[in-house]
A and B are shown apart, each in its own frame.
Chain A
Amino acid sequence: MKSSEKAVITVIGKDMVGILAKVTEICAKSGVNVLEVTQSILQDLFAMVMLVDMAGSSSDVAALSRQMDALGDELGLKIHVMHEDIFNSMHKI
């Protein structure tokens, strides 16, 4: 069943120095491979979307999500980690 273990990390909030570095640092420590990053400014808000591969990771989506929650609280940002299936099922037929 675990054919793919890709997750989407989204960071939404006020722009500041070092967001990407801090998020990717957590990824690197857990062996999570970053596949794609896009970022934009939406209605004065910083929005970053990362596609990551967790296949080689010692961690899982739930654990990574908890770490990112902590980082988000620290920086005052909203960070979501969600398995890619949710987006595939909601937006693709």
Chain B
Amino acid sequence: MNTNEILETINMIDNENLDVRTITMGISLLDCAGPDPEASAVRVYDKICRYAQNLVKTGEDISRRYGIPIINKRISVTPVAMVAGACPGASPLRFAKALDRAAHTVGVNFIGGYSALVQKGFGPGDYALIESIPQALSETELVCSSVNIGSTKAGINMDAVGKMGKIVKRTAELTADRECIGAAKLVVFCNAPEDNPFMAGAFHGPGEPDCVINVGVSGPGVVRAAIQKEGAGKSLTEIAELIKRTAFKITRMGQLVAQEASRRLSVPFGIVDLSLAPTPAIGDSVAHILEGMGLEQCGAFGTTAALALLNDAVKKGGVMASSSVGGLSGAFIPVTEDAGMIDAARSGCLTLNKLEAMTAVCSVGLDMIVIPGEVSPEIISGIIADEAAIGMVNSKTTAVRVIPAIGKSAGEELDFGGLLGRGPVMPVNMSSPAEFIARGGKIPAPLQSLKN
């Protein structure tokens, strides 16, 4: 064994924040549906507790064996609207409570899947679930919610887009006493992946098996350090190679953890999501990678190009390292979770307009962005519609997770604590898209949806 390689790995973990971000167990709840809502919620609770009882301990054991920090253990479940739809007229809130109780019982950090997939229209249970999101997120602690309102195949459901603007705002209002945290647990997607292990957007898609283990790796700090150490004087071609090699190593580690977790829990291995997920810790920032490539600050012209290179190189390096790659896989740009982005947003170098451009080439979308509390639901809907359009036309996942800071305006800050971080309220273009949003209907699927 090569001593340098061993020390390199140790250094990545000790000094460069290398970790496995999450082991996420996906659990299907389709067999829990039934006409009696009470009985159905009990089945949901029981099934989650039965399947995930050893998840946290197994994660900790693997972490000990390999000496790799595994930060989160999480659960994703079938979009609850599909289960709640079987008991029409009953409030889906009881399912949110059941999910929250189960998550507390098994000791996971988050449970995702209080979700609805409405890209082509509202099915049974969808509308009631969406209506209940603000209350569900304010009355539970660990539940995360997502709504898919568009796809390349189906187009954009503008009725749902209009609705979600109000829901995001309402969710923030109901948790205004807790830094509007509810909105940080709600994602509006276009082209949502069904096997994403990352929160808040994780859910267990209807095409997934009964139970599955997905692993999300991380490691922006390792990539940044590699560029810092070896990148001086290198061309971008060489930088791309360097990122690929680093992403390969990170993903191999994720693959090992995923296989081991799958074996120990006797649950099939699903995918490794090879995303660079930043944390507010110094040195664990995607923005700092971009700055390491030579930008004065994230948000400067050149940022979108640098991010495109990074996102692509991460995928290329990772795809060979794992037998099955899925989820979002790329570079995340959540503003409040990334020390470099927080600084750039504070200084005004990074604007919402620039972030929107960046979402055309990153792996997700407008993520963890604090906006003024006075922003109207229609403007939030407009933001969602723009993001969805970028995702739909480019056949990629896009998402919106904005947090209206109720009672605060541009320049003030919200502090969520932990991995969710903190960030300044970013100025928003206040021109109204109200009439456009109020039209409702659908934006038809683009020509690129006709691939057959």
Residues of A at the B interface (CB closer than 8 Å) are: 1, 8, 10, 12, 36, 38, 40, 42, 47, 49, 51, 60-62, 65-66, 78, 80-87, 89-91
Q: A89, B256: Cβ atoms under 8 Å?
A: yes
Docked CA distance A80–B68 (Å): 10
Which of B4-12, B146-154, B355-363 lines the interface with chain A?
Answer: B4-12
Q: Is the CB of A42 within 8 A of B7?
A: yes
B65→A87 contact, CB < 8 A: no
B residues 227-265 touching A (CB-CB < 8 Å): 249, 252-253, 255-256, 263
Closest to B253 in A: A90
> Is B353 at the interface (CB under 8 A from chain A)?
no
Cβ < 8 Å to A, chain B residues 1-52: 1-3, 5-10, 13-14
Q: How large is the interface on B (under 10, 10 to 19, 20 to 34, 35 or more residues)?
A: 20 to 34
Contact of B65 among A36, A42, A62 (CB under 8 A): A62
Partner of B263, one of A1, A8, A12, A60: A1
B1 with A51: CB separation less than 8 A: yes
Complexed CA–CA distance, A12 and B2 (Å): 16
User: Given the interface contacts A38-B3, A91-B249, does A86 sit within 8 Å of B10 by beta carbon?
Assistant: no
CB proximity of A38 to chain B, nearest CB, Å: 5
Find the B residue at minimum CB distance from A86: B66
CA distance A85 to B257 in the complex (A): 10
Q: Which residues of B contact A84 (CB under 8 A)?
A: 1
Contacting pair B5 A86 (CB below 8 A): no
Contact B66 A85 (CB under 8 A): yes
Q: Is the interface of B mostly helix, strand, loop or mixed?
A: helix
Q: Mark B54-87, 1 if CB is under 8 A from A, else 0.
A: 0000000100111110000000000000000000
User: What are the residues of chain A within 8 A of B263 when measuring CB–CB?
Assistant: 1
CB-CB under 8 A for A65 and B6, given A86-B256, A90-B249: no
Among A36, A66, A81, A90, the one with the most B-chain Cβ atoms within 10 Å of its Cβ is: A90
Binary per-residue interface labels of chain B (340-369) against chain A in the complex, 1 for a CB within 8 Å, 0 otherwise: 000000000000000000000000000000
A89 to B249, CA, bound (A): 8
Given contacts A10-B10, A12-B10, A80-B10, contact A86 B68 (CB under 8 A): yes
Contact between A65 and B64 (Cβ–Cβ < 8 Å)? yes
Cβ A61 vs Cβ B249 within 8 A: no
Q: Is the CB of B65 within 8 A of A10?
A: no
Q: A83-B65, A89-B256 are in contact. List 10 more A-B contacts (CB 8 A).
A: A40-B3, A78-B14, A82-B67, A86-B67, A86-B68, A86-B256, A87-B5, A87-B6, A89-B253, A90-B256
A residues less than 8 Å from B249 (CB atoms): 90-91
CA distance A8 to B6 in the complex (A): 8
Pick the contact of B9: A1, A60, A87 (CB < 8 A): A87
Residue in chain B with minimal CB distance to A78: B14
With A78-B14, A86-B256, A90-B253 as known contacts, state yes or no: A47 contacts B67, CB within 8 Å: no
With A and B bound together, what is the CA distance between A56 and B66 in angstroms?
19
> Which of A10, A61, A89, A90 contacts B7 (CB under 8 A)?
A10
Total A-B residue contacts, Cβ distance less than 8 Å: 70
With CB as the reference atom, state the residue of chain B lying closest to A66: B64
Q: How far is the CA of A11 from the CA of B349 in the complex (A)?
A: 43
Find the residue from A12, A38, A66, A91 having the highest chain B CB count within 10 A. A91
Q: Residues of B contacting A62 with CB < 8 Å?
A: 61, 64-65
Instruction: Kindly state the separation between the CA atoms of A34 and B1 in the bound complex, as whole angstroms.
Output: 14
Given contacts A83-B66, A85-B66, A86-B256, whether A47 and B14 have CB atoms under 8 Å apart is no
Whole-angstrom distance between the Cβ of B242 and the nearest chain A Cβ? 16
Residues on A with C-beta less than 8 A from B68 are: 82, 86
| A80-B67 contact given A1-B263, A49-B7, CB 8 Å threshold | yes
A69 vs B68: C-alpha distance when bound (angstroms): 14
Most chain A CB neighbours (cut-off 10 Å) among B66, B68, B253: B66
B-side contacts of A65, CB under 8 Å: 64, 67
A10 vs B9: C-alpha distance in the bound complex, in angstroms?
11
Nearest Cβ on chain A to B251's Cβ, whole angstroms: 9
Contacts of B256 in A (CB 8 A): 85-86, 89-90
| Contact yes or no, B67 A49, CB < 8 A | no
- Chain A residues, CB < 8 A from B10: 10, 12, 78, 80
Residues of A within 8 A of B64 (CB): 61-62, 65-66
Complex contacts, B67 vs chain A, CB 8 Å: 65, 80-83, 86
B13 contacts which chain A residues (CB < 8 A)?
A: 80
User: In the assembly, what is the distance between CA of A60 and CA of B61, in Å?
Assistant: 11
| CB <8 Å contact, B2 and A91 | yes
A3 → chain B closest CB, angstroms: 13
Q: What are 19 pairs between A and B in contact, CB < 8 Å?
A: A8-B1, A8-B6, A10-B6, A12-B7, A40-B3, A49-B6, A61-B65, A62-B61, A83-B67, A86-B66, A86-B67, A86-B68, A87-B6, A87-B9, A89-B252, A90-B9, A90-B249, A90-B256, A91-B2
- Residue from A36, A83, A86 whose CB has the most chain B CB atoms within 10 Å: A86
